[in-house]
Amino acid sequence: SDLQKQAERGELLQPLVFASLVLCSVLLYLRVSLMDPGFVKPEEELEVFHLSNRSKRMVTHEVPNAVRMRRCGYCMVKQPMRAKHCQQCQHCVRRYDHHCPWIENCVGEKNHPLFIAYLSVQLIVLLWGGHIAWSGLYFDQSWDWVKRYFLLLTSFLLIVVFTIVALLLLISQLYLISCNTTTWEFMSHHRISYLRHSELENPFDQGVILNLWRFFC
């Protein structure tokens, strides 16, 4: 591959950058999967009350009083607005987006920005890795060619599949963030009381620029 040729010639800049990106993606993966995504703890009920009030001030249109606060039927803590109980993690998660089986953790208020960073770095690694694998393939219509390049060709095809998945996931996540909604809210709009009783389809939307600013900054 091109990367191997550069390493053999002593041109180590690109191999080191690629290795650094791979290491960065692994570290981000571990960080996102092991960190607290925003669990609501029983001893934080006063904090939850203030967080819920802050969420209500951020909505464009006030939701009815009857649906502003609720107590979780599983862990019995008072949920701030936009929180949801995760059956896999057995916790309520603030600004719950989804439970990701790939990281075996919820994506919520605390780790959502890092999850986007992880997806972005991983997509760069996959695109670069696909280019590296493709550069090492020399096509020839013979059985010896298939045996020689089988692993490299399989790797390239797997990279293509994972690249498509990562790209679609990143695009959908950025779209939802720009609308200031979550995957859970987008998929279950008709089941969520504070959305179902609101006159607006998305009472949290404050415009693309402000939505992105509030999420990332």
Which tokens sit at 19? Answer: 């290795």
Residues constituting the chain? 217
Which tokens sit at 13? Answer: 């800049």
Q: Which residue is catalytic, options 86, 92, 100, 106?
A: 100
Which positions ≥6 away from 206 have C-beta within 8 Å? 58, 60, 180, 214
Which tokens sit at 135? Answer: 């550069």
Rounded Cα distance, 37 and 111, in Å: 5
Instruction: Give the 3-state secondary structure of residue 13.
Output: helix
Which tokens sit at 21? Answer: 């990106």
Angle at 20 between CA 108 and CA 111, to 5 degrees: 5
Our answer to whether residue 100 is catalytic in this structure is yes
As annotated, the active-site residues are 100
